[in-house]
């Protein structure tokens, strides 16, 4: 019974932290892709301007259904910027692709707006994820739905796309998190 109360208290404490205003800013450093372009092509994404906003096209070359495709993600931190990344406990275990989109897209909702800076239908989160060529323009991270406490420095995210049980594509996004000035 005591453990249950502690668990509830910790959950409420975590929710309270999510309500605090973020005191950091996030900017893109790089976006890289490996594994060929048979499934996803990110080669036309460019980071432009002082804000390093993402612009270009993303081509999804298949319809990504839950029965064939899954996704996993890991995060790594490098506070000093010396290239020595340490793995963080924040990750997405391998799950069907639509389940990942439904569970975790809330962190990207403020950054990607259908009809404003993308033509991918993010507002309805279609499943299967439809193939097509989609634009993004002037995308920067809006962190309103992100945790109030984030590690400062460089944060690397690796996302793996699986077809059946084989990794077919990997995307790496490097961002910099710094205090608001």
Mean model confidence pLDDT for the chain: 89
Identify the CATH number of the domain in which residue 14 sits: 2.70.220
Residues 116, 5: Cα–Cα separation, whole Å: 45
Q: What is the pLDDT of residues 14-41, one digit of tens each?
A: 555 555 567 888 999 999 999 888 999 9
Count of the separate structural domains present in the chain: 1
User: Is 131's pLDDT higher than 90?
Assistant: yes
Domain containing 63 equals 2-179
∠ CA 58-64-66, rounded to 5°: 145
Which residue in 49, 60, 80, 67 sits closest to 120, CA to CA? 60
pLDDT: which is higher, 70 or 35: 70
Q: Cα-flanking dihedrals φ and ψ of residue 106, to 5°? A: -55, -25
């Amino acid at each position: 019974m005591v453990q249950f109360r502690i668990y509830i208290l910790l959950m409420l404490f975590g929710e309270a932290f999510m309500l605090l205003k973020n005191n950091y800013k996030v900017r893109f450093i790089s976006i890289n892709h490996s594994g060929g372009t048979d499934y996803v092509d990110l080669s036309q994404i460019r980071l432009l301007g002082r804000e390093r906003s993402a612009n270009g096209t993303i081509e999804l070359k298949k319809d990504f259904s839950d029965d064939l495709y899954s996704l996993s993600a890991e995060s790594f931190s490098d506070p000093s910027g010396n290239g020595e990344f340490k793995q963080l406990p924040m990750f997405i275990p391998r799950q069907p692709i639509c389940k990942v989109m439904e569970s975790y897209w809330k962190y990207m909702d403020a950054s990607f707006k259908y009809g404003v800076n993308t033509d991918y239908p993010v507002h309805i989160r279609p499943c299967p994820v439809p193939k097509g060529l989609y634009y993004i323009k002037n995308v920067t991270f809006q962190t309103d739905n992100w945790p109030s406490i984030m590690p400062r420095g460089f944060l690397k995210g690796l996302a793996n796309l699986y077809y059946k049980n084989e990794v077919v594509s990997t995307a790496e996004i490097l961002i910099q998190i710094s205090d608001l000035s």
